[in-house]
Amino acid sequence: MSQLQIGLISLGVLIILGVLLFNWWQERNIRREMYRRFEGPIDDVLMKELQSSDQKADEDFHIDPEVVVEHEQASMIEWAVTSTDPATAQTEQTETAPDDMPDTQRASSDEAHFIPETMQKTGTSSDIAAAATEDFAPTPIRLSDPPPAARDEVRLPPEVDPQIDEIALLVFQNSFSGMEIRNALQPLPIFSKSVRWLGRDANGAWHALTREQEQNSFYAIACALQLVDRSGPANGEDLRNLHVKMEDVADRIGGKIEWVEHTDPLHYARELDQFCLGVDVTISLRLIAGPDGPFAGTKLRGVAEANGLSLKEDGRFYYQSPETGEPLYALACLDQRALTTEVLRTGLLRGVVLMMDVPRVPKGIEVFNQMVLLGRKFETVLGCRLMDENQHPLGDVEIDKIRQQLRVIYSSMFARGIIPGSPTALRLFS
């Protein structure tokens, strides 16, 4: 190796060492300056009051001072590099900038599921806290150029729920009639799940886009694809059709699309379906004729109607919620026969069954207790015996076990933010 090569190598090593030393010295100065700037007075009364109020307001939230220092240090170093060599900083920023960024922030949750042992599965399928639903609340968007009456923020329609729906908001710069929107939606693809189309008028109210709304003007539309029902989760074709259709409508009449969805909607739908399978339970209390043989339908009807049940066209008695009119539990013939007026008037029955669709019933423990009391009345009046599905008598111990399982199911639903008997639950378990 020649003397020239050795000299060049040595010079290169010296240059590298010089750069490293300069960077170390510069970083050290910046750190000192940063600590000097952020070191507050020791006995600052105002700071103490602030710290005290902050601690009371948020006891569980902890900020690591080292993380703050590192963040501020990185900001100072970035400022120093930029101010020293703008061209270099611009080049580095260009090289490190990501090629694309996601349009929306999304969230999903994984929940464990379970299958209670003594209850019957019914299908494949806000309290907790308002915070449970707020986690999914979309960022409000503003209309581009609405009339004065419509300058408030665009909110989701009350008919949709981000927990169970794939939602698209299409906001227009100008209004369109319901007829124009309906024409732009044609032809609609075929979905395996329920899809809701709603329009927002100048007052902020949402309306289903039916023929009755064709003459009204709308400044935004919302589309919601239900991700899960008792027949199972939505499939990839449903999601693709929804995205393609909304893009097509936006191309036809203009507007900006805002998606309210989870990171992986298909995976989320499957996970939600598994959760629903774990809580989709029907309680069945059987009333079997005793030693005296079959009981008269007239007696059955008398006890049922005296306790608030009414006979419906499907041949079952129902006890309905006084507030909503939704059925809370049903009374049906054990041999699948319809309890018609004629059957009840002339027939003899060997057994009936009381049934409660657990996830569809609010205050389910109270309703279950009421159902048990009715069963005991039937035992006394009809001379029958209250049993489970395996023909085992139901005493107080067995009844209490079912009650405990109900508590587990309802706790799981509340933890998920799905309130039993709520509109969301009624849609999921339908």
Cα 370 to its chain centre, rounded Å, is: 30
pLDDT digits (tens, 9 = 90+) for 33-87: 544 444 444 344 333 443 444 444 444 434 343 443 344 444 333 333 333 343 4
Residue with structure tokens 């005991």? 376
Q: Which residues contact 186 (CB under 8 A, 6 or more apart)?
A: none
- Please tell me the predicted confidence (pLDDT) of residue 122: 53
Tell me the per-residue pLDDT of 95-136, one tens digit each, with 9 for 90 and over. 434 444 434 333 333 333 333 333 555 544 333 333 333 333
Average pLDDT of span 335-342: 92
pLDDT for 128: 33
- Fold equal for 134-263 and 280-394: yes
Dihedral angle sign, alpha carbons of residues 90, 95, 96, 99: positive
Q: Report the pLDDT value the prediction gives residue 21, as an integer from 0 to 100.
A: 79
For 239-265, the pLDDT digits (tens) are 999 999 999 999 999 899 999 989 999
pLDDT for 390 equals: 85
pLDDT band at 7 (very low <50, low <70, confident <90, very high): confident
pLDDT for 291? 87
Q: Give the pLDDT of residue 152.
A: 42
Q: Per-domain residue ranges for the chain?
A: 63-101, 134-263, 280-394
Query: How would you classify the pairing of strands 310-311 and 317-320?
Result: antiparallel
The CATH classification of domain 134-263, taken from the options 3.30.1400, 1.10.3470, 3.30.70, 3.30.750: 3.30.1400
- What pLDDT is attached to residue 32? 61
Report pLDDT for 27.
Answer: 66
Mean pLDDT of 378-396: 91
What span, in angstroms and rounded, lies between the C-alpha atoms of 99 and 97? 7
Sheet strands side by side (includes 195-200):
206-208, 195-200, 217-226, 165-177, 256-260
Domain 280-394 -> CATH class: alpha beta
